[in-house]
Structure 1
Amino acid sequence: MKFRLFPQETAGLQALVSMSEHILSATHTLAELLGADRADFPALTESLRQEESASTANFATLLTAMRTSFINPLPREDLYSLGQVLNETSEILTGAAEVIELYVLDRIPARVSDQLEILSQQAELTATAMRSLNDLDGLEDYWLEVLRLAKRADHTHRVLVSELLKDHSPTTFAKYKTLADQFASASRQMRAVATQVGSIIVKES
């Protein structure tokens, strides 16, 4: 980590921490949703929308901090990229909840739960990493672990799609594949965050 002479504004970093925590909370709510009764779908989905709304507010805080701070803890383009990807992840997770509610998916295949478990691990690692952005030492392990999990998530998604195709009618296949694609997309977003952190580590070393 480079030595910095002047004090830095940390509001932007705190916004990133909050956004990552909203993602982690969203994965927990989605875990509830996968095992919920149909009657509980609307309330749980609304909880995801609230997480997304809070994330968007945090993103706005980040943008304000970037514009008004004389010295930022990291380059503005890096802060913006991290915030954008984190906020988009919240949107994707809300989309997953809406798919479950709209398609009334109350018999979730076990491998979809495996997808969410991997995603939850990525989200937990990411939330921890966002708290350490002001001290990049040690984040290389986070970067590599999230990339490893992303490869596992890609494999799980491919196997799941093949099983859905074999075991379900075209209509049911399309419904569950839409959900599986949402989780796969969120996992790739977590990988994008880790890749951005890796880029920061290289630039700041």
Structure 2
Amino acid sequence: MRLRLTPRDAVIFPLLRAQAALPSVACGLLVTMIGSTVAERSEILERMRAVERDAAQARSAVLDRVVASFVTPYDREDLYRLATALDACVDEIARTGDRVAAARLPRLPEPLVAQVESIQRCSELVDSAGGEFSRMTALRDVCVQLSGLVSHSRRAHERFVADLLAGHSDAGIDPLEMIRLSMLADALVRALERFRDLAQIVETIAVKEA
């Protein structure tokens, strides 16, 4: 273990902890949205955009502290990447909310609901991990779980799109509905992939700190 001869700015950790809670808040609104009526979704989307703004402000608070600190707990570039990745998770969830609202589907197909549940699980893992950012090496199991969830969801996404295309050709599904569903499926898997990006950044810091 590396010996540190200078104090580290511990104020950054509560800021990261607060930021790590925001993907779960955004995803909670996404879950509410898919269970709501089409007419209710615009109001929920506005609340999601407010969380997106909060996430951007939380990122700025972390980066401002990094700039102001003489000694940071981790490399400045790693802290920048970590704060940016947390913000990207919220951004992508909000974009998915935009897709859900734009699709105007009364109900989502079960495979897409399952993808939302995977995003929710990833968000919960990040929220629970936020308190451990001062001990990155303790988060390796969380990183493995995040990567596993994303890999599973990527395969589910590919099956859904293949089934969607087969259903279109075999059963004459409305092409516009097929496009809406495909775009929504793509948005969901992009949101999940942001969590994999976050896991890779945490793993990189953990290796450096080991």
- TM-score normalised over the length of structure 2: 0.91
Runs (5+) with no aligned partner, structure 1: none
The question of 1:191 aligning with 2:196 is answered yes
- CA distance 1:4–1:105, change in 2 (3 Å): farther
1:174 aligned partner, one-letter code: I
Q: What does the per-residue CA deviation read over 1:182-202, in whole Å, with 9 as the maximum and x for residues that have no partner?
A: 110111110111111111111
The question of 1:173 aligning with 2:186 is answered no
The question of 1:95 aligning with 2:100 is answered no
Please state how far the C-alpha of 1:137 moved relative to its aligned partner: 3.8
Paired residues, number: 205
Pairs within 5 Å for 1:11-30: 11-30=11-30
Contact 2:16 2:133 in 1 (8 A): no
Runs (5+) with no aligned partner, structure 2: 168-172
- TM-score normalised over the length of structure 1: 0.93
Q: Tell me the percent identity.
A: 24
SS, match of residue 21 in structure 2: helix
Alignment correspondent of 2:170: none
Provide the rounded CA distance (Å) in 2 between the counterparts of 1:5 and 1:193. 29
SS, match of residue 138 in structure 1: helix
Please state how far the C-alpha of 1:59 moved relative to its aligned partner: 0.8
Contact 2:24 2:124 in 1 (8 A): yes
Provide the rounded CA distance (Å) in 2 between the counterparts of 1:200 and 1:185. 23
Structure having the higher Rg: 2
Alignment correspondent of 2:112: 112
SS, match of residue 25 in structure 2: helix
